[in-house]
Structure 1
Amino acid sequence: MEVEKNVKLHVTDLGEGKPVVLIHGWPLSDAMYEYQYAELIQKGYRVIGITLRGFGLSDKPGGAYNYDVYADDIKVILDKLKIEGATIGGFSMGGATVIHYVAKYNAAHVSKLALFGAAAPLWTKRADFNYGFWTKEDVNGLIALNNTNRPQLFENFGKIFPANETSVSAGQGAWLGTIQAQASPYAMAESMKALRDTDLREDLKKIKIPTLILHGTQDKICSYELAEQMHKSIANSTLVPFEKSGHALFIEELPKFNAELIKFIK
């Protein structure tokens, strides 16, 4: 679907019924939600998975990559599809993106928000925000590695993605590997700058709709502390800890993940 002249995004739109809009994390695509789609469709929901520009099967233009651009792209697609009363969910960077979408557009087209291992309100530490694992210098190192040895960056993240060596199988790891290999290196670097620099604390205060926060307590990429901060700042929010999961909670505890999401959508 076209979001601006010469920029088309890959959108998965399957099933009938109450709409569920899902936004992937960095550097994946909407294909990460394969096992959410399967169950949601079977349970009578319509799934709309948007792959952000620069990732997966979407176009990969130059220019800006940040939560503003992503939120604008989501708005165009939900306008075109005439979606109303959807639950919008986002994983990791996608969680930060949907927070910004709901805040910027006053929850247009959506009535509920779901956040999975979200990289928010800040992914990097600040003088007044000492949560999470990453400093801006750390992220500059990740960007440098992206631009010199991207396979090594994928390998490094693969090691810290699950809670432990066995919680994500080799096959699942390989499947995720094929998805992230589709990402544009330029989009990956630019969106890491957004992850490094963006402060969503003011956005959290603007969220009035019911919000579900699902987060692995063993997350080594987006610390569980971030979930606690989101829960504190989003008025109408529920936090569900995933004790056996790292960042990959959507596969590490798949049955629980889907059950909690469906219970919330209902």
Structure 2
Amino acid sequence: MNAITRTFAASLLAIALHAGTAHAAQPQAGDLQAAARAATIEGSTVVTADGVRLYYKDWGPKDGPVVTFSHGWPLSSDSWESQMLFLADQGYRVVAHDRRGHGRSSQPWDGNDMDHYADDLAAVITALDLRDVTVVGFSTGGGEVARYIGRHGTARVKKAVLVGAVTPFMLRTTDNPDGAPIELFDGFRKAARENRAQQYLDIASGPFFGFNRPGATPSAGLVQNFYVQGMQAGHRNTYDSIAAFSATDFRGDLAKFDVPTLVIHGGDDQIVPPAMSAQLVPRHVKHAEVILYPGAPHGITDTHKDRLNQDLLDFLRE
């Protein structure tokens, strides 16, 4: 594929992704608020206006300061358990849900895109009536947090944290030369169709935790935990999510951030390299503070959990 064809194909993917949600991308605020208010709580699930059941966990004192966690691809809220346990012990109310199509939530055929992810987060926040929230997102979840603020504003948000996030824009296009080529994401899709179980094992045992680096000591437990969470998710849902995290442009969403924002990223992140993500966020969020962990991989919620926990606590206490 020559350079012109490659650029054209990348642009087509981005256009196609947004065309499917063109009307939803610029909704009326009242419509969004009404949809969020329509969500109901049934046991350990929030049921959205379109009937999707979102499993959630709500730990810590119910009167504590609130922190929500949005997880990465293809994981679930379980991937945040170290941070949630730590902060709940510090007196915070910590809430995390399994994204639609992931973990213990419903596996809808449609709606596997960032607009729906953001609206689902809004449904959880509204159904539980959470206020003055610090919204934290990892990887794809960072995009979810950005799109939530872009669509729903910060009326209920106190602070924001992007951890290893896919913001501002992962895909290389004519106006985004810092992004990755479309062939990379096509490879993700091809591997998912051929053998997604092996794909998850390969990602976890290699670049996600940095176990492919010289001198690294692989953890079978971390690899298996990643695999189990990934295989809980729906095949269609995780497949569609590749386009959601790669071809969604979050630059306009970041421009709407008007709350204190912390960006934390592994310096040796092979999944979402900081040069195309964390280091570019200050172009769009002028007040953002960026912290890079030297030599750290993508999966810092596990590999660097003690440092991450402390950095989150320090930011929450500021």
Q: TM-score, normalised by structure 1?
A: 0.95
Aligned to 1:145: 191
What is the distance in 2 between the residues matched to 1:178 and 1:63? 23
Aligned to 2:290: 239
Aligned to 1:71: 118
Q: Hey, which bits of structure 1, 4+ residues long, moved more than 6 A?
A: none
What is the distance in 2 between the residues matched to 1:167 and 1:129? 36
Aligned to 2:133: 86
What letter matches 2:299 in structure 1? Answer: A
Structure 1 residue ranges without an equivalent (≥5): none
Aligned to 1:2: 47
Please tell me whether the aligned partners of residues 271 and 298 of structure 2 are also in contact (alpha carbons under 8 angstroms).
yes
Please tell me whether the aligned partners of residues 99 and 117 of structure 2 are also in contact (alpha carbons under 8 angstroms).
yes
Task: Report the aligned-residue RMSD.
Answer: 1.4
Displacement of 1:119 in angstroms is: 0.7
Please tell me whether the aligned partners of residues 71 and 139 of structure 2 are also in contact (alpha carbons under 8 angstroms).
yes
Q: Secondary structure at the match of 2:268?
A: coil
Displacement of 1:152 in angstroms is: 2.5
More helix by share: 2
What letter matches 1:103 in structure 2? Answer: G
Aligned to 1:41: 88
Aligned to 1:114: 161
Sequence identity percentage: 29
Aligned to 2:226: 176
Aligned to 2:242: 192
Q: Secondary structure at the match of 2:95?
A: strand
What letter matches 2:201 in structure 1? Answer: E
What is the distance in 1 between the residues matched to 2:315 and 2:279? 19
2:200 to 146, 150, 154: 154
What is the distance in 2 between the residues matched to 1:247 and 1:168? 14
Pair 1:78–1:192, CA change in 2 (3 A): same
Larger Rg: 2
Structure 2 residue ranges without an equivalent (≥5): 1-45
Q: Give CA-to-partner distance per residue, 1:131-166, whole Å, 9 cap, x none.
A: 25x312221221122122112221332211023443
Displacement of 1:253 in angstroms is: 1.1
Please tell me whether the aligned partners of residues 213 and 231 of structure 1 are also in contact (alpha carbons under 8 angstroms).
no
Aligned pair 1:29/2:80, yes or no? no
What is the distance in 2 between the residues matched to 1:3 and 1:73? 7
Q: Secondary structure at the match of 1:60?
A: coil
Please tell me whether the aligned partners of residues 201 and 223 of structure 2 are also in contact (alpha carbons under 8 angstroms).
no
What is the distance in 2 between the residues matched to 1:183 and 1:82? 27
Q: Give CA-to-partner distance per residue, 1:3-50, whole Å, 9 cap, x none.
A: 134311011101110010000000000000111111111110000001
Please tell me whether the aligned partners of residues 59 and 95 of structure 2 are also in contact (alpha carbons under 8 angstroms).
yes
With 166-175 and 236-245 compared, the bigger mean Cα shift is at 166-175
Displacement of 1:168 in angstroms is: 5.3
Please tell me whether the aligned partners of residues 24 and 90 of structure 1 are also in contact (alpha carbons under 8 angstroms).
yes
Q: TM-score, normalised by structure 2?
A: 0.80
